[in-house]
Amino acid sequence: MSDAHAVLVAELRAHALVIGDVVLTSGATAKYYVDAKRAILRPAGFRALGELVAERVRGWDATAVGGMTMGADPVACAALAGGAQVKGFFVRKEAKGHGLHRRIEGPVLDPGDRCVVVEDVVTTGGSTIAAIEALQEAELEIAGVVAVLDRLAGGAQRIEAAAGAPYVALTTIDEVYPDRPDRPAAG
């Protein structure tokens, strides 16, 4: 485990894990919630995240990094701060109704740009897949997908199928909350 990975897990455990009944974006209910922004918008979490995401972006020879606003916003910014020499972008749920009427915000992405799609927390993968589809509609290539934390609820497989590219979770719920009540028994 790299130092940055260890720091990210510790920051998520200390600041992002909320125990109690919550409704997830997917509509499902859970006994815990991971509000990753509570950890990654702190100096140590942001630095660790930036190092880890920038490393993936470089490894996939990407030229752009971003995803669905708001989950992807701090992750993309951390990659840039971590030294990734790429364009950052944010995908809106729908095109803006004024100004330039853009759905993909940030520097103009050109045909041939290789995009890394990022997300803070993945459960079903719905938000990430919506960002992937917006990029594909714009005829951009998906180089890979990075999640800060995967809740291990099936989203990874759905994302990989939609992206046609590798998916990497920097951490999983098993690392951050190993004693969670819904953890499958070891078999």
Q: Is 87 one of the annotated binding-site residues?
A: no
Q: Is 98 one of the annotated binding-site residues?
A: yes
Q: Taking Cα atoms as reference points, which of 121, 137, 119 lies closest to residue 177?
A: 121
Q: Is 93 one of the annotated binding-site residues?
A: yes
16 Cβ contact partners less than 8 Å away, ≥ 6 residues apart: 34, 35, 36, 37, 38, 39, 40, 149, 176
Distance of alpha carbon 85 from alpha carbon 62, whole angstroms: 9
Q: Is 31 one of the annotated binding-site residues?
A: no
Q: Is 96 one of the annotated binding-site residues?
A: yes
Q: Is 123 one of the annotated binding-site residues?
A: yes
Q: Is 37 one of the annotated binding-site residues?
A: no
Q: Is 119 one of the annotated binding-site residues?
A: yes
Parallel/antiparallel/unpaired status of strands 17-23 and 141-150? unpaired
Q: Is 125 one of the annotated binding-site residues?
A: yes
Q: Is 25 one of the annotated binding-site residues?
A: no
Which strands, in side-by-side order, build the sheet including 114-122? 104-105, 87-91, 64-68, 114-122, 141-150, 167-172
Annotated binding site: 92-93, 96, 98, 119-127, 151
Annotated binding site for 5-phospho-alpha-D-ribose 1-diphosphate: 92-93, 96, 98, 119-127
Annotated binding site for orotate: 123, 151
